[in-house]
Structure 1
């Protein structure tokens, strides 16, 4: 039975890690958050805009990260697929180096969570890690940490549109990130097995 739980844990974590990778790399909208390009809806957009502005890695690497999502968005919206050479212009990232960095320091949890989510989705394809799950938790914490404005405030409608969470897709992303952790899934299956065996013999 122990080996059976291990096999099921492997299958579940393998499938969940691929779902999480798909959600992150094909840029399925998870939230709305003001960023350098205007409004970001995915961890990949936040991460790539920061990487380009800070010049940490070459823009060619960022293009490679963005291109799967650009293809997916073009197909979904029935629009022509953007050319690889003009990908940054399509994402409004051409003049990011001129933008200020003060707002980024005020959004450190959301940015750090996006970094971890992107890195975790890549590493999850190779080996089970908690990095992606921790990134999603930090991302949600950062979104909830944004100052809440009461309904009577003049800026309430703008703030509500600027910062929000898409709960259906965000829930799937968090769940898939958690289930991609093989050791934790194995422990959960073992608990279910122990509970089932106990109730069977009572």
Structure 2
């Protein structure tokens, strides 16, 4: 019993850390129109919303964006961007004139992105279901829009789900300690059952 809890705790902690890296290093998970143009990560969707609505100080939003900007600079062999130039780099300085309509159309993606970012932060302290709910909401919103466009025979490349979404989904699921404990117990139960029959 104690060992299954220990294994669940270890797996959950590792999964939460992987999920945190995926979100904060801004690994592209999807492609969707947002207030700043095209967003590819929950962090970009959340940051564009926070900057345009002025809910948080710009300094806090830049702090959220900076780790991903540094990671992208390293991957693309570009110089590390200046902290003050982040809104311009992400094209969050000029927004579309009618953003509210697109936000309402993609409410699940916006809400899911908020939950994904918050879940990544809180998951490091105490893993929970927030990350999983966030990713599920984002996937549901994107899938719904893709299906609606196909049914209306509207095809475009502005909405897309990248393969890296599966990494985010699995790590978000495995970050839930109770669910991991159930999986570990069922695996141990099968192992004991097989050992008895040998």
TM-score bracket, shorter-length normalisation: over 0.9
Root mean square deviation, CA, Å: 1.6
Aligned length: 195
Question: What SS does the aligned partner of 2:86 have?
Answer: helix
TM-score relative to the length of structure 1: 0.92
1:109 and 2:96 matched: no
Pairs within 5 Å for 1:1-202: 2-96=1-95, 100-146=99-145, 147-149=148-150, 153=153, 155-156=154-155, 159=156, 161-167=157-163, 169-202=164-197
Question: What SS does the aligned partner of 1:15 have?
Answer: helix
Ranges of 4+ aligned residues in structure 1 off by more than 6 Å: none
Q: Which runs of 5+ in 1 are unaligned?
A: none
TM-score relative to the length of structure 2: 0.93
Q: C-alpha deviations, 1:67-104, integer Å up to 9, x for none?
A: 00000001100111110011111111112386532211
Question: What SS does the aligned partner of 2:126 have?
Answer: coil
Q: Which runs of 5+ in 2 are unaligned?
A: none
- Is the 8 Å Cα contact of residues 36 and 96 (structure 2) preserved in structure 1? no
In the aligned structure 1, how far is the partner of 2:162 from the partner of 2:167? 10
